[in-house]
Amino acid sequence: MKNFTDEQDEIVLEGGGEDRSAEEFCPPEVELSRREFLAASGVLAAGVAAWLPRMAEAQAKAQAATTTPVMAAIAITINGKMHSLQVDTRTSLLDLLRENLDLTGSKKGCDHGQCGACTVLMNGRRVNSCLTLAVAASGAEITTIEGLGTPEKLGPAQRAFLEHDGFQCGYCTPGQICSATAMVEEAKRGDLSLVSWESGKSRHPTLTDAEIKERMAGNICRCGAYPNIVAAVRQLAGGAA
């Protein structure tokens, strides 16, 4: 047990201990001469000077590691034609199509997989090509808007969009058409949507307007041509009401 006497500012240790002044517990003041201060400063400065080049070298190596491309060989079939390419492993499928192969029908909208303008078909399924690495598509069969038809011979989805005026500015249209093409095939396979579950039709549901809207929700039309897009998809699906 310790008793502290404020008046005498002493610490009394019971059990025969000696009284000691509180001043004894204060750390001694450190006094440096000008010469000692300069010497200590010099040592510190030398240490920093020796460390900075190493830090700069480490930063340069880290930056080089992130900017130096790592190339990979891929073989990919696009619109029925095989391509053997050397690509940067960071290249997206969208950039490969547009920048390397000059297939500019697929559009770069948000570049975050949120608008659907870049939609293409990979092995028959729709994917956002801006989020798909080209190396991940190696060995796959890719179909773009250019592979669905030609100006002289339009594909069924292209013809339906044209007949129903399912576009305005047209920027999102290639993605809409690719998505609609795959979506109709998904419905034929019996794939379900949230509307299917909510309506209780869990076996080959009819492509109603509600079904079409839900299944095409990943493709945004900023011009608001949705009624005509739904009508085009309805025709593509075989006239479902």
Predicted confidence (pLDDT) per residue in 143-161, tens digit: 999 999 999 999 999 999 9
Confidence band, pLDDT 50/70/90 cuts, at residue 23: low
CA dihedral 216, 219, 222, 224 (to 10 degrees): -10
pLDDT at 22: 53
Kindly report the average pLDDT of the chain as a whole number.
Answer: 87
Task: Report whether pLDDT(36) > 80.
Answer: no
For 12, phi and psi rounded to 5 degrees? -105, 120
Query: What is the DSSP-derived secondary structure letter of residue 100?
Result: I
pLDDT at 13: 44
For 86, phi and psi rounded to 5 degrees? -105, 120
Rounded Cα gap, residues 115 and 71, in angstroms: 29
Integer angstrom CA distances of residue 203 from 45, 199, 216, 226: 77, 11, 19, 26
Q: Which range scores top for mean pLDDT: 13-22, 45-54, 142-151?
A: 142-151
Integer angstrom CA distances of residue 200 from 20, 118, 184, 189, 213: 87, 32, 20, 17, 17
pLDDT at 12: 44
Instruction: Please give the single-letter amino acid code of residue 184.
Output: V
Query: What is the DSSP-derived secondary structure letter of residue 28?
Result: P
pLDDT at 9: 46
% residues pLDDT > 90 (the chain): 66
Rounded Cα gap, residues 133 and 95, in angstroms: 9
All domains in the chain, ordered by first residue:
2-67 (no CATH), 71-147 (3.10.20.30), 156-236 (1.10.150.120)
Task: Report whether pLDDT(1) > 80.
Answer: no
pLDDT at 57: 82
pTM of this structure:
0.72
